[in-house]
Amino acid sequence: MASGKLLRQLIKSGTSGDEAGFRSASESVIREEREKNHHLLANDLERLLHGNQSKLACIRNFHTIGVLPSNKDNDLPLMEVRLANREEKDLILTDVARSALEEILAEHNRADLLRSYGMQPAQKLLFCGSPGCGKTLTAEVIANALSLPLVLVRLDSVISSFLGETAANLRKVFDYIAAKPVVVLFDEFDALTKDRGDSADHGELKRSVNAVLQMMDGYCGESILIATTNYESLLDKAVWRRFDEVIYFEMPTLEQIKQLLILKLSGVHHNFASADTKTATLFKGMSHADIERVLRRAIKDMILSGQDFLEENHLVAALDREYRKPKVTSVKLRAPERKRKSVL
């Protein structure tokens, strides 16, 4: 338990409305609990302190972005605000992907300098790769790092079977992001921009591809457009050159799995080495999201069984449950070119 002095400081600053004093006292309490090896409690206190601030920031951002556009048929919003409080330290990426991310952030942090030379920072980004490898998380990191609201385009509202409605909805989205600087996420972008040579798709979807291409060409706002896809070879060939940067997200290597285990278990007592090759090998072939899910399941098992330390048997039991889940067989399609692209 925190010292009496800290508790008095905490309550005094809280009741007097001293936000800076309250934050300082709270961080001192968290630090003291960590020194006592009360890591789970310290993590919970950090989430309460910083998580609430992130929610407040999200609320403030919501007020600054105004009214979101909606579908005229059912009045459903075409976009939704997402909380973005993840940081670069939360990402485990390949060197190539991390370098590309750092360059993008550097360009936007020094956008005025680029514009003074008649150039623009990269604004249209395509993230490709297997599910659960950090595409959406990276969009959150970009929004948080640049202090911009993160909004997700709701494809269930945008895509319509009625003639011309999909294009009309897309026009509302592009008009909105041209007027308000945000990070806009087009998740599962292939649903909007499938190859127009595919005879299985009806005419409205083919028209949506034309609409997306025209709107991306004509876009001149300050928002950052991020499109993600798990199946990049389904994209229409004309889409690729509309993006300033294309970043590929790969399944984690053994070394990256070790880094992920160290990161996710940093506040949890455990009786095994996080960076041990034997432990990391247990997760070989799994995505970042799959590994996180297994770790959460193992930690819950530890807590509910009343144990203070995470053991390897908790990991094995959680992995066994993961592998017993029914698997969906799919063929991973690749674009013909795997190089990082730039059309700046």
| Residues 244 and 318 reside in one and the same domain | no
Residue 163: both structure tokens together: 């003639």
| Residues 209 and 273 reside in one and the same domain | no
Please check whether residue 313 is in contact with residue 297, taking contact to mean a CB–CB distance below 8 angstroms. no
pLDDT in tens, 155-168: 888 887 776 888 89
pLDDT in tens, 230-239: 999 889 899 9
**What pLDDT is recorded for position 102?**
95
64 or 180, which is more confident?
A: 180
Domain end position, chosen among 250, 268, 302: 250
Q: Which of 298, 251, 297, 293 is nearest to 272 (CA)?
A: 298
CATH code for the domain in which residue 151 is found: 3.40.50.300
- Percent of the chain at pLDDT > 70 equals 83
| Residues 154 and 278 reside in one and the same domain | no
State the CB neighbour count (10 A cutoff) for residue 164. Answer: 12
| Residues 17 and 56 reside in one and the same domain | yes
276 or 6, which is more confident?
A: 276
φ/ψ of residue 235, rounded to 5: -70, 145
Is residue 332 included in any domain, yes or no?
A: no
Is residue 240 included in any domain, yes or no?
A: yes
Answer whether residue 217 shows pLDDT above 90: yes
For the chain, the straight-line distance linking the first and the last C-alpha, in angstroms and rounded, comes to 55
186 or 74, which is more confident?
A: 186
**What pLDDT is recorded for position 151?**
95
| Residues 258 and 221 reside in one and the same domain | no
Mean pLDDT of the 98-106 span: 95
| Residues 99 and 245 reside in one and the same domain | yes
Is residue 337 included in any domain, yes or no?
A: no
pLDDT in tens, 267-287: 889 988 888 899 999 999 999
CATH code for the domain in which residue 316 is found: 1.10.8.60
Least confident of 19-23, 91-95, 229-233, 305-309: 19-23
| Residues 86 and 26 reside in one and the same domain | no
Name, in order, each residue with C-beta under 8 angstroms of 82's C-beta and a sequence gap of 6 or more.
Answer: 140, 150, 151, 152, 185
pLDDT in tens, 22-35: 888 888 888 887 77
Q: Give the pLDDT band of residue 198 (cuts 50, 70, 90).
A: low
Range of the domain at 9: 4-62
Is residue 310 included in any domain, yes or no?
A: yes
| Residues 90 and 239 reside in one and the same domain | yes
**What pLDDT is recorded for position 226?**
97
> Per residue, what are the HEC states of the chain?
CCCHHHHHHHHHHHHHCCHHHHHHHHHHHHHHHHHCCCHHHHHHHHHHHHHHHHHHHHHHHHHHHCCCCECCCCCCECEEEECCCCCHHHCCCCHHHHHHHHHHHHHHHCHHHHHHCCCCCCCEEEEEECCCCCHHHHHHHHHHHCCCCEEEECHHHHCCCCCCHHHHHHHHHHHHHHHCCCEEEECCHHHCCECCCCCCCCHHHHHHHHHHHHHHHHCCCCCEEEEEECCHHHECCCCHHHCCEEEEECCCCHHHHHHHHHHHCCCCCECCCCCCHHHHHCCCCCCHHHHHHHHHHHHHHHHHCCCCCECHHHHHHHHHHHHCCCCCCCCCCCCCCCCCEECC
Domain end position, chosen among 13, 29, 62: 62
**What pLDDT is recorded for position 50?**
64
Answer whether residue 317 shows pLDDT above 90: yes
Q: Give the pLDDT band of residue 101 (cuts 50, 70, 90).
A: very high
Answer whether residue 200 shows pLDDT above 70: no
Name, in order, each residue with C-beta under 8 angstroms of 49's C-beta and a sequence gap of 6 or more.
Answer: 23, 26, 27, 30
| Residues 282 and 197 reside in one and the same domain | no
Is residue 343 included in any domain, yes or no?
A: no
Is residue 335 included in any domain, yes or no?
A: no
Measured distance CA(33)–CA(30) in Å, rounded = 5
Q: Which amino acid is at 2?
A: A
pLDDT in tens, 40-72: 677 667 767 765 454 444 444 555 577 888 888
| Residues 197 and 89 reside in one and the same domain | yes
Is residue 47 included in any domain, yes or no?
A: yes
Measured distance CA(178)–CA(173) in Å, rounded = 9
Mean pLDDT of the 74-93 span: 89
State the CB neighbour count (10 A cutoff) for residue 155. Answer: 16
Is residue 43 included in any domain, yes or no?
A: yes
Number of folded domains that form the chain: 3
Answer whether residue 319 shows pLDDT above 70: yes
**What pLDDT is recorded for position 338?**
40
pTM score:
0.75
* Residues forming a β-bridge with 68: none
Measured distance CA(42)–CA(60) in Å, rounded = 27
Answer whether residue 341 shows pLDDT above 60: no
| Residues 318 and 191 reside in one and the same domain | no
Answer whether residue 146 shows pLDDT above 70: yes
57 or 264, which is more confident?
A: 264
Q: Give the pLDDT band of residue 104 (cuts 50, 70, 90).
A: very high
What average pLDDT does the chain have?
Answer: 84
Domain end position, chosen among 250, 279, 304: 250
**What pLDDT is recorded for position 224?**
97
| Residues 96 and 41 reside in one and the same domain | no
Mean pLDDT of the 304-312 span: 92
Residue 135: both structure tokens together: 């595409």
Least confident of 72-76, 144-148, 309-313: 72-76
